[in-house]
């Protein structure tokens, strides 16, 4: 009886261990793969930076990408930022009103937008709207052998395809962030005036310290970094598409997922960096 139960235990243990072993193996495999991909992405980014000196040769593509990525995103980003500003003003306004502190709405909404909401909303809209489309477009080009055709013609795909796309994001995302900041604050100001009797002038007065400080520029700086991350991930995923149409779908999805993760992780790191290094210098 004793012996039998022991054998059973051992058998069960073997089963669990091999399950755990396999799970660990799989997790390890996935981690290794992601690490390799990340490494590949970094290399692509370095390669792209090295191509910046050739930017003169891709100006038409750059213009087209700025138009698509930048101008195309203004309306939806403004809508979302404006609504967020209004919602935030409403939600915080009620609480502040209880304590009679609603005069500070401008400072609160200003801080949230300049520091986080502006850059993050901009990144989310761009990665969903533009990053996914970039990955799909480049992925389709890979599947149709168009990228091979470029290589055979001695046209470097990093210069011809990646550089204008990443650069277009680096140019347009900080501007879009500024727009999101402005519209978000405007939305907040409108609600503050309509619901909490905080005049626009009061709202501005409360926000002015922030507006004059370096926070706006920190946000813009962050959005430039996000642009590099999103552009590089989208192009890398697109360029490494395999398995035809199905692969294009995978490239698109993983661009969105990876971009969200990396944008948030880098946001955390950048905030720490700003607090530790930049604030002591710029305030």
CB of 171 to another protein, least distance (A): 19
CB of 140 to another protein, least distance (A): 8
CB of 129 to another protein, least distance (A): 18
The residue (of 104 and 156) whose beta carbon lies closer to another protein is 156
The residue (of 150 and 190) whose beta carbon lies closer to another protein is 150
211 token code pair: 């507006």
The residue (of 77 and 135) whose beta carbon lies closer to another protein is 135
CB of 68 to another protein, least distance (A): 10
The residue (of 81 and 251) whose beta carbon lies closer to another protein is 251
CB of 54 to another protein, least distance (A): 10
Q: Which residues bind another protein (CB under 8 A)?
A: 57, 64, 141, 144-146, 148-155, 160
The closest alpha carbon to 218, from 124, 119, 126, belongs to 119
The residue (of 34 and 144) whose beta carbon lies closer to another protein is 144
CB of 196 to another protein, least distance (A): 50
The residue (of 57 and 266) whose beta carbon lies closer to another protein is 57
CB of 262 to another protein, least distance (A): 27
The residue (of 146 and 193) whose beta carbon lies closer to another protein is 146
Judge whether 187 and 84 are in contact, CB under 8 Å.
yes
**HSE, side-chain direction, 13 A CA sphere, residue 179:** 18
């Amino acid at each position: 009886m004793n012996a039998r139960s022991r054998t059973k235990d051992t058998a069960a243990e073997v089963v669990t261990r091999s399950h755990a072993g396999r799970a660990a193996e799989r997790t390890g495999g996935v981690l290794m793969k992601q690490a390799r991909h990340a490494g590949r992405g970094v290399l692509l980014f370095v390669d792209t930076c090295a191509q910046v000196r050739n930017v003169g040769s891709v100006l038409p593509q750059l213009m087209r990408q700025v138009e698509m990525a930048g101008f195309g995103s203004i309306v939806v980003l403004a809508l979302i930022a404006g609504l967020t500003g209004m919602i935030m003003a409403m939600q915080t306004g009620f609480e502040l009103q209880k304590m009679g502190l609603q005069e500070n709405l401008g400072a609160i909404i200003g801080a949230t937008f300049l520091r986080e909401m502006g850059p993050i909303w901009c990144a989310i809209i761009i990665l969903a709207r533009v990053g996914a489309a970039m990955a799909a477009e480049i992925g389709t080009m890979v599947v149709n052998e168009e990228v091979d055709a470029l290589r055979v013609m001695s046209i470097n795909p990093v210069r011809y395809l990646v550089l204008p796309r990443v650069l277009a994001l680096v140019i347009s995302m900080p501007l879009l962030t500024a727009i999101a900041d402005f519209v978000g604050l405007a939305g907040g100001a409108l609600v503050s005036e309509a619901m909490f009797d905080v005049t626009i002038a009061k709202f501005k007065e409360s926000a002015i310290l922030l507006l004059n400080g370096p926070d706006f520029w920190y946000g813009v700086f962050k959005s430039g970094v996000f642009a590099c991350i999103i552009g590089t991930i989208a192009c890398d995923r697109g360029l490494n598409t395999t398995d035809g149409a199905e692969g294009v779908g995978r490239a698109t999805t993983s661009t969105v997922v990876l971009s969200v993760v990396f944008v948030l992780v880098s946001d955390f790191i950048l905030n720490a960096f700003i607090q530790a290094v930049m604030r002591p210098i710029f305030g």
